Structure 1
């Protein structure tokens, strides 16, 4: 191996995704191995790892596979199609902006949930402290 590609196991360790999850994302068309080894093993590049990290970050925010695919398509086109006309480029940027806004809204909702969870845990700690017998 030339150091530019890595097998799925290394990708799984780096992304903290299971082999099964990576294969699922491949089947869903979100990521494809950049190459195959002579033995037929999937080989991934740094770009593939970056795609998987985008997917990993979108998942807990509630984005669907279709939304992930749409965002990746928009960013791929922005990155790889230098000949886009101004209208196409602006439409793609608007799609990315919509996902950024949706992500920001989800982050805000998660912050509220986290604050409520922390308050609840503190309430339980206080209750236990008040009602637990003193330990000797």
Structure 2
């Protein structure tokens, strides 16, 4: 049974885990390190998350395979959330992160191509 308050469109951690495909442990870790602080807590102390939290978690999930550290993820999330005028060097930092992401993706694509070649060699 999922606990979802329909009037406020919030969800408990179990539903968030189900929707994102991430483990409860991972979501709790992201909460503990400040990457995904729970929107609120129930009187019983259970975490309650919003749609914005879901979207934030999906961005975190996209960054993870690209090798960004938790600190870098926090910085990227902050830059994405901040208006350009509040962070004068924000555009430069985002461009640097974009360049790294593109480079890492290209490396992953090369590795995947090598894996495909090996699978074909094995007769797959």
The TM-score range, normalised by the shorter chain, is 0.7 to 0.9
Where is the helix percentage greater, Structure 1 or Structure 2? 1
Query: Superposed, which structure 2 residues align to 1:53-68 within 5 Å?
Result: 53-68=58-73
Q: How many residues align?
A: 119
Query: Superposed, which structure 2 residues align to 1:1-136 within 5 Å?
Result: 1=5, 2-78=7-83, 85=85, 88-125=86-123
Alpha-carbon distance, 1:120 to partner:
0.6
Stretches of structure 2 lacking an aligned partner (at least 5 in a row): none
Under a length normalisation based on structure 1, what TM-score does the superposition of the two structures give? 0.80
Runs of at least 4 residues off by over 6 Å = none
Under a length normalisation based on structure 2, what TM-score does the superposition of the two structures give? 0.88
Q: Per the alignment, in what secondary structure is the counterpart of residue 125 of structure 1?
A: coil
| Cα RMSD, aligned residues only | 1.6
Alpha-carbon distance, 1:71 to partner:
0.5
Once the two structures are superposed, what CA deviation does each residue of 1:50-94 show, in whole Å capped at 9, x if it has no partner?
11111111111111111101101111223xxxxx64xx4441122
The structure whose Rg is larger is 1
Alpha-carbon distance, 1:7 to partner:
0.4
Alpha-carbon distance, 1:3 to partner:
4.0
Alpha-carbon distance, 1:38 to partner:
2.6
Alpha-carbon distance, 1:112 to partner:
0.4
